Structure 1
Amino acid sequence: MMTEKIRTLLAEMNTLEEELAATLREEQSKMFFQIDGKRVQFERTVRAEHRKLKSNLLHWLVTYRPQNLLTGPIIYGMAVPLLLVDLCISVYQACCFPVYGIARVRRDNYIIFDRQNLEYLNIIEKFHCTYCAYGTGLLAYCTEIVSRTEQYFCPIKHARKMLGNHRRYAGFLEFGDAVDYEKKLEAYRVALGKPD
């Protein structure tokens, strides 16, 4: 059963997250860019300064760390399993979430490609950034889908401390809290039908 203290702490955490997001938006505005839909737009003078900072491709290749070049095939070889995970989790969500009444997770809220707008990155650096944005975004997308599934089937905290909890975990039932479990489980399920 969630105590009043836990509810208060969760509310405070939510307030701090909102304050952090507002502060980050303020910092972004100091960087002389605006977001227009999905497009990032820098001021003309900033774009020009960024272009001056871009590393020449030949210079970049010569000065690049050799261990990064050696491990490149291993890193980029992970693209195949990532694409397979993406396909599987997307099919899972498309098939199961409507049946369970769970709101769909929007992929474009997690997998964001905007670093190609940075003029100070050369083409190889932009490619690296695209790959990393896809990988980390995909894992966040998967985490949200699985966390909604966990909330639907088993919204119970673990007895032992777990590192890397997803954002829904803090609101789950305490381990061993059996009072009105079925009623509480139904409430968790109903809540999943509302989009975030």
Structure 2
Amino acid sequence: MTARIDELMARIEALYDEIENEIAERRQRMRYRLERGKVRFETEALRQQREWREGLASFLSRANPWHILTAPVIYSLILPFVLLDVWVSLYQAICFRAYGIPRVRRSEHIHIDRHMLAYLNALQKLNCVYCGYCNGVIGYVREVAARTEAFWCPIKHAGPVRQPHGHYAQFMDYGDGARFREGLNASRDRVTRGE
């Protein structure tokens, strides 16, 4: 990897840190804290959230009929998502162990906590659980796939890739056959070290 790419990656990491700091400041403004992974709202903040909750009947009466009619299509995806989650977990349990790649922790990707917000009604909470799970599975699967790609085929694509995974910047340039074997070994070393 070139010094310029190293510099850009460091700037990206610094931006992620800035985002995390901003979120931490907003946590304080929303009057909650995290204790051992659990959200704890101040009593007054929780009381106010309950006042903001819209009842289920009112919520459904105002709903767009198309939203209600398409809900079964949305929720039908739960089966493929669960199957994908289970299959990818099995895949990495077998293959990553064989390759010496550190396993991806599901808990770092799948976050289900928005259903704890007192201003959401039961249906909104269910929607939040569903979205948190499905988007978390996608993030989890993406990291498993990224580590697999870094182990087997760490070559950049010929054209631009929008929002590539975190390993991509270290991949070899497209067409650089002279460095392929050396670059493949270096990428495998990085991914098995958990970098």
Distance in 1, Cα, partners of 2:190 & 2:126 = 39
Distance in 2, Cα, partners of 1:147 & 1:22 = 27
Tell me which of the two structures has the higher relative contact order, counting C-alpha pairs closer than 8 angstroms and 6 or more residues apart: 1
1:78-157 paired onto structure 2 within 5 Å: 78-157=77-156
- In the alignment, structure 2 segments of 5+ residues that lack a partner are none
Map of 2:19 onto structure 1: 20
Distance in 1, Cα, partners of 2:194 & 2:41 = 32
1:3 is displaced (CA, Å) by: 2.3
Answer yes or no: is 1:74 the counterpart of 2:55. no
TM-score scaled to structure 1, two decimals?
0.94
Map of 1:160 onto structure 2: 159
1:102 is displaced (CA, Å) by: 0.4
User: Which stretches of structure 1, 4 residues or more, deviate above 6 A after TM superposition?
Assistant: none
Identity %: 36
Distance in 2, Cα, partners of 1:119 & 1:106 = 29
* RMSD between superposed Cα atoms in Å: 1.3
TM-score scaled to structure 2, two decimals?
0.95
Q: How many pairs were matched up?
A: 195
Deviation string 1:106-148 (CA, Å, 9 cap, x unpaired) is: 0011111110110000011000000001111000000000000
Deviation string 1:26-73 (CA, Å, 9 cap, x unpaired) is: 222221111112211111100000000101111111112211100011
- Change in Cα spacing, 1:11 to 1:164, as seen in structure 2 (3 Å) is closer
